[in-house]
Structure 1
């Protein structure tokens, strides 16, 4: 956890780049959902931009840190849950050495097993966590202007629980599970999203000057080398 805090809060240039990126989607007074908030570095960025934030995180240790950092902030609501297709509960598999890749997706762990660059990752314990949906969160907190989803292989499940599009959203992709990201693109198209872009890794920089359609974004994703590892895809309605 201390390593995560150092990585995600200790680099001012990274924070500035994050603000520039999210500033293209978030305005002062907007409501934002941070799905998979981890230690809250995106929460910090959204707050700097003047947004109200619903931070959703199922991991007990990460929840403790989020409450320590933001629990008394009037502009942050913290939800202790995973986000999926339907409300209920699920098994969260914890990677204690690298909690950023803890996951509710057994398929994610299967894809990571022995994949180049992932050989040292181990999920050594599990915890049962509640599951909510994006629709339920909207019903409780209101409709956000932007949703950020970073849930380690559970992104398609999260998007399946959204039945009406918001103005813009992002979801993480990995090259070990391109099928999940392709399913997310397909879901976004079905919801009415027309333009797509992406950022690689933690670059906080969009890869394209021009936004493209869903099919072209899927083709770009399919052609990425394995070494690209991960990033985020952004979708907007118009």
Structure 2
């Protein structure tokens, strides 16, 4: 594994295991999840959210195909967190991941994401310098093995719609990362969710540690909110709850 990949791992650990961030995540998931809930962490990265979900009492399945992160999780996660060293996507396949060694959080299985991001605000310093072959399975297959999850976190850098393409039933609750510079991808995710069931939505901006709105809103309200965001705005997570 190239040295740059390990430097990327160290950088991610410094970011995501910040003590304040860990406390915020534990408090947030403590309110969101109930003991005994089943949670899928799709794009587990360094496992900070998997650990926070577990601290809330959830049973956790963490999915992470990228090395050296999968190896780190294999060695460091609590034994009661199930690690699936696969990507989640539209089919059972072998896929190529575009990897940014120094900024591994933006590594992606989307064939177009890296090309689009090259000219997007906030990505000028990022280089996708290598590729990695990964095994891919579907959300439906994951559910067949582990059960229907109460909550699914999806953070896969532009591959969210592909993840949901491998799902044939509505989920009770999920979150997807949104990036204002790629709002069309989030709008496509909203359309896909509406094809599965009737959802209400609520964003978490950046690392705010709480929902933006006091009440969950319908898809049209979220579309209007996304349309008003400046392209250079920060990322966050959009939560969707089955009505």
TM range (shorter): over 0.9
Alignment of 1:62-77 (within 5 A): 62-70=69-77, 73-77=78-82
Question: SS at the partner of 1:177?
Answer: helix
Deviates most, 22-31 or 217-226:
22-31
Name the counterpart of 1:81: 86
Deviates most, 134-143 or 189-198:
189-198
Report whether the alignment pairs 1:205 with 2:213: no
Alignment of 1:72-111 (within 5 A): 73-111=78-116
Report whether the alignment pairs 1:58 with 2:57: no
Question: Distance in 1 between the 2:196 and 2:32 partners?
Answer: 18
Name the counterpart of 2:167: 162
Question: Distance in 2 between the 1:120 and 1:193 partners?
Answer: 39
| Mapped contact 1:193–1:235 kept (Cα < 8 A) | no
Deviates most, 140-149 or 20-29:
20-29
Q: What residue ranges of structure 2 are gaps of 5+ in the alignment?
A: 1-8
Note the C-alpha offset of 1:16. Answer: 2.3
Name the counterpart of 2:226: 221
Question: Distance in 2 between the 1:191 and 1:18 partners?
Answer: 28
Report whether the alignment pairs 1:119 with 2:108: no
Question: SS at the partner of 1:211?
Answer: coil
Alignment of 1:136-155 (within 5 A): 136-155=141-160
Note the C-alpha offset of 1:186. Answer: 0.8
Name the counterpart of 1:6: 14
Q: What TM-score does the superposition give when structure 1 sets the normalisation length?
A: 0.95
Note the C-alpha offset of 1:213. Answer: 0.2
Question: SS at the partner of 1:228?
Answer: coil
| Mapped contact 1:25–1:146 kept (Cα < 8 A) | no
Note the C-alpha offset of 1:37. Answer: 0.2
| Mapped contact 1:200–1:228 kept (Cα < 8 A) | no
Question: Distance in 2 between the 1:90 and 1:24 partners?
Answer: 36
Question: SS at the partner of 1:119?
Answer: coil
Question: SS at the partner of 1:117?
Answer: coil
RMSD: 1.2
Q: What residue ranges of structure 1 are gaps of 5+ in the alignment?
A: none
Note the C-alpha offset of 1:8. Answer: 0.9
Structure 1 residue ranges (4+ consecutive) displaced by more than 3 angstroms after TM superposition: none
